[in-house]
A and B are shown apart, each in its own frame.
Chain A
């Protein structure tokens, strides 16, 4: 049952990701990105990482992609003027790279066994919170300082009068 769901959501995630990069219209790509993010959240749930799944949907699907769409709406390129990409050497190189990646993951997958049964209790809100604020407190705080620096940097770059 679980393997079935894994294959289902994995296929949705990969299919959605392919659609994100192949669609011509940026809005369509953004919507496929939401689909992919949801499918990945479902994979997290299958591994009993409930907190991670919720945060994935809140932050990525609920906020980051909204900002993408915000930009797409503001630029609002008419459909007739969307650029058409032609097959170039870059595309050929991309296909070769993708093939190599698939080959590599196949080799890696042969080396490692199938994932073990999910451990329940490590992905809950309580467990993640405890781990973040005890064992990984320093890393957590350093990351928050890094994010703060990024926020200040964005404001400084966009506001020349500051």
Chain B
């Protein structure tokens, strides 16, 4: 095959696979969220949507939702700024989708004698690209709040911009330890470095070498995604629905999609940086090798499938963790959010950075 054509096909295929994976999870998780909420609150949850009498535990509910949103009247409030009101949902959704570009979803594969990395783009700046792009999502929320021409969305937008800026600082600092330990900001290299063993027993995953960094990053991620306990920008008991109070029909559904996409991407980043990405514990290129010398060989195809499955499993688990936390932990008060961000997270992440640097510089390493 023509090499240029081959490259093009591979590039498109990688984008299609990753996008399809994330979008499927987004759709499934709008359902999982409601079922999970019902399960945690001892209810049944959505179970009415059916096709030809088949209910499948309400799995068709997202489809019914999408149709409902599509067929509703596309409404613009009288006092809204027309242009900004329309582009705000796009600003919210587009950057989140762009972040999937640097997440490696599997090991390198060899196809027609060519080595192909299962990652849309292996950028030199790696995680910085994710920070840069996901920093744009704040404009969606802020513009939505401001352009709606109403008090509650404005307050929601203001809250969200202050919150996102505050937590971006500790989010960046909490990851510095990971970069120092694995000596790279490239996600492919970070995942590759997590294949080894720590003290000969534990897999060398980020969570084991940077436990405090993991906790800080997890909290910052929840704050960035505006999810409970940090969903102050849309706190319904105070602000009706926050920045998307005035939105309806498909524009509202774009905000919803952005939120669930944020969850899925956040889960993928967490598993990539702290849980070895596609690495399966004790699984080498040729088979299992447990600490102590025991092990057995596996065919390469099975190794590949186990690794992809490992990545998918981790992403699904961490996306579920978002749901679990949302329906378990109550919302903070706004001053508590700010105090936590600046007076706890920031000093702790600086201390973590300092301690990591000290340990790395210890003689005899």
* B138 surroundings in chain A (CB, below 8 A): 62, 66
Q: Is B17 an interface residue (CB 8 A)?
A: no
- Residue of B at shortest CB range from A121? B124
* A51 surroundings in chain B (CB, below 8 A): 124-125, 128
Cα separation A4 to B188 with both chains bound (whole Å): 31
Cα separation A105 to B293 with both chains bound (whole Å): 70
Q: B206-240, CB under 8 A of A: which get 1 and which 0?
A: 00000000000000000000000000000000000
Cα separation A70 to B164 with both chains bound (whole Å): 12
> Which size class do B's interface residues fall under?
20 to 34
In the complex the two chains form, is B161's CB within 8 Å of A69's CB? Answer: yes
Tally inter-chain residue pairs, CB-CB below 8 A: 69
Q: Is B246 an interface residue (CB 8 A)?
A: no
Contact of A55 among B128, B133, B164 (CB under 8 A): B128
- Residue of B at shortest CB range from A55? B128
In the complex the two chains form, is B135's CB within 8 Å of A58's CB? Answer: yes
* A54 surroundings in chain B (CB, below 8 A): 125, 128-129, 131-132
- Tell whether A63 pairs with B165 under 8 Å between CB atoms, given A54-B125, A70-B158, A73-B146: yes
Q: Which of B159-205 contact A (CB under 8 A)?
A: 161-162, 164-165, 168, 185
* B267 surroundings in chain A (CB, below 8 A): none
Q: Is B142 an interface residue (CB 8 A)?
A: yes
Q: B122-164, CB under 8 A of A: which get 1 and which 0?
A: 0111101101110110110010011000000010011001101
Q: Is B84 an interface residue (CB 8 A)?
A: yes
Q: Is A19 an interface residue (CB 8 A)?
A: no
Contact of A57 among B124, B132, B154 (CB under 8 A): B132
Q: Chain A's interface: helix, strand, loop or mixed, by majority?
A: helix
Cα separation A3 to B238 with both chains bound (whole Å): 53
Contact of A63 among B133, B142, B168 (CB under 8 A): B168
In the complex the two chains form, is B125's CB within 8 Å of A125's CB? Answer: yes
Q: Which of A60-77 contact B (CB under 8 A)?
A: 61-63, 66-67, 69-70, 72-74, 76
Cα separation A63 to B161 with both chains bound (whole Å): 10
* B128 surroundings in chain A (CB, below 8 A): 51, 54-55, 58, 125
* A62 surroundings in chain B (CB, below 8 A): 131-132, 135-136, 138, 168
Q: Is A34 an interface residue (CB 8 A)?
A: yes
* A57 surroundings in chain B (CB, below 8 A): 132-133, 135
* A27 surroundings in chain B (CB, below 8 A): 81, 84, 146
Chain B nearest CB, measured from A85 CB (Å): 21
Cα separation A72 to B81 with both chains bound (whole Å): 14
Q: Is A143 an interface residue (CB 8 A)?
A: no
In the complex the two chains form, is A76's CB within 8 Å of B136's CB? Answer: no
Residues of A within 8 A of B (CB): 27, 34, 50-51, 53-55, 57-58, 61-63, 66-67, 69-70, 72-74, 76, 79, 124-125
Question: Which 7 interchain pairs have the tightest Cβ spacing?
Answer: A62-B135, A57-B132, A54-B128, A54-B125, A58-B132, A50-B124, A124-B124
Can you give 14 A-B contacts (C-beta < 8 A)? A27-B146, A54-B129, A57-B135, A61-B132, A61-B136, A62-B135, A66-B139, A69-B161, A70-B142, A70-B158, A70-B161, A73-B161, A74-B158, A125-B124
